[in-house]
Structure 1
């Protein structure tokens, strides 16, 4: 998650509250008041006052060691229409794909220059991948990200290039020309392949979920060990799952 620094950060009460809520990192269950104040640049008294208000709304919960994110945030997130509708439409196809491949299955959507994961069916004994439900990764180095960029409006790719193609692993594509070429190939074959571009040791095959205009609104993928998963072998299954979700979202023709 992204945090905003208090020095030069938001001045509104809502902005300060969001700064506190987004200070939590994916692997953190709770944070102390002192740590929250340090990360946000707020005075402890200001952070304490805002946390007390957030607690009254069940957006955070008090713990013996500090505070943690509250259940109300989960409830609100699950009510977002776009996410709920997509997850419900995709659920049977993701389950079938998981049963057919016995590999980790992802469902993701685009958000700016990143992808956000809405669902993850994890294979027991599979590789540890840096994805989690609600988590983000750069679009340019993930299978789902490249699948969506290949079928995205031109301005989305330009935004990704303008932000810089940061290297996450030795094989991350960081040359704009090479990325453009790869996206053109993805448009031709309908699936995106990733070989150790986001994480060493893993490979991935992904396919876009398209709207009626042929633009990607989400993507489906499977991920596994690079030395045991042959992406080409499962490309058809991943593409079939994505096509199924696309048809459901479009409704009767």
Structure 2
């Protein structure tokens, strides 16, 4: 991604992005190699980030700190998509009823997808809920492909780069052929199938997606299923309230 022209801010954002991409944390040397900065610059930035609780350190390993929650929480609180989508996710959860499944609201952030809301049925095993990540590469998950397939090709290439776009292009064609539905099987967890649909105004690029992921649900996660129709109506209802 092209820098903003404000060097210190670009460097801070580069460190933050790499730290956000791993749960185990990174050393200053690893961050220097990943960003191309010298270690002295990395250490100075990390020291400042620790002062503002943007970063925590333990035994020379750096992770994002609790201070990152403040702007993230403020953003989510005012995000219309999350507020409007909430009753629709509850309704889908009720439709799924006693099946082990999770309903999520997905938001694109650059070349990543962040799940900003998740609801699960009582039949869903706790380890499935606890172990499932809430951030994925946009081209490697069901909701991401549902969104990416709505982008003009130039925008999609700019988002993920030419190499990743060429790899995911056949999957995007499948989404188009399925009328906008995206499917995944055992991508994030063995045995977990998923179906996603974009939230968009008309033919514009999607601003988000709803995704249903469940165990042993291949039979109902199909374009012809009643659950797929419920999912499509939910996304349409959200879009209508968002855009009028």
TM-score, normalised to structure 2, is: 0.72
Tell me how far 1:130 sits from its aligned partner.
Answer: 8.0
Taking structure 1 as reference, are residues 79 and 227 closer, same or farther at Cα in structure 2, changes over 3 Å only? closer
Match status 1:247 vs 2:237:
no
Query: Is residue 59–residue 71 contact of structure 1 (8 Å, CA) maintained in 2?
Result: yes
Structure 1 residues 150-207: Cα deviation after superposition (integer angstroms, max 9, x where no partner)? 43323234555823368xxxxxxx574x4454133233xx533333456542211111
Give, in whole Å, the separation in 2 of the partners of 1:23 and 1:153. 27
Q: 1:183 aligns with which of 175, 180, 191?
A: 175
> Is the 1:208–1:242 Cα contact (8 Å) retained in structure 2?
yes
Q: Larger % of helix: which?
A: 2
Cα deviation for residue 219 of structure 1 reads 0.7
Unmatched tracts of structure 1, length 5 or more? 3-9, 167-173
Aligned residues: 227
SS of the residue corresponding to residue 100 of structure 1 reads helix
Any idea what the Cα deviations from partners look like across 1:99-151, whole Å, max 9, x if unmatched?
A: 33251112223345543332333553174798533x22232x43212322343
Local SS of the residue matching 2:93: helix
Q: Does 1:237 align with 2:230?
A: yes
- Give the secondary-structure state (helix, strand or coil) at the position aligned to 1:17: helix
Aligned residues: CA RMSD: 3.7
Maintained 8 Å contact 1:109/1:115: yes
What TM-score does the superposition give when structure 1 sets the normalisation length? 0.70
Pairwise CA distance, 1:235: 0.9
CA 1:220–1:36 in 2, change beyond 3 Å: closer, same or farther?
same
Alpha carbons of structure 1 residues 82 and 249: separation in structure 2 relative to 1, 3 Å: farther
Question: For residues 32-181 of structure 1, what are the structure 2 equivalents within 5 Å?
Answer: 35-41=27-33, 45-61=40-56, 67-80=62-75, 84-101=79-96, 102-122=100-120, 124-125=124-125, 127=128, 132-133=133-134, 135-139=135-139, 141-159=140-158, 162-164=162-164, 174=167, 176=169, 178-179=170-171, 181=173
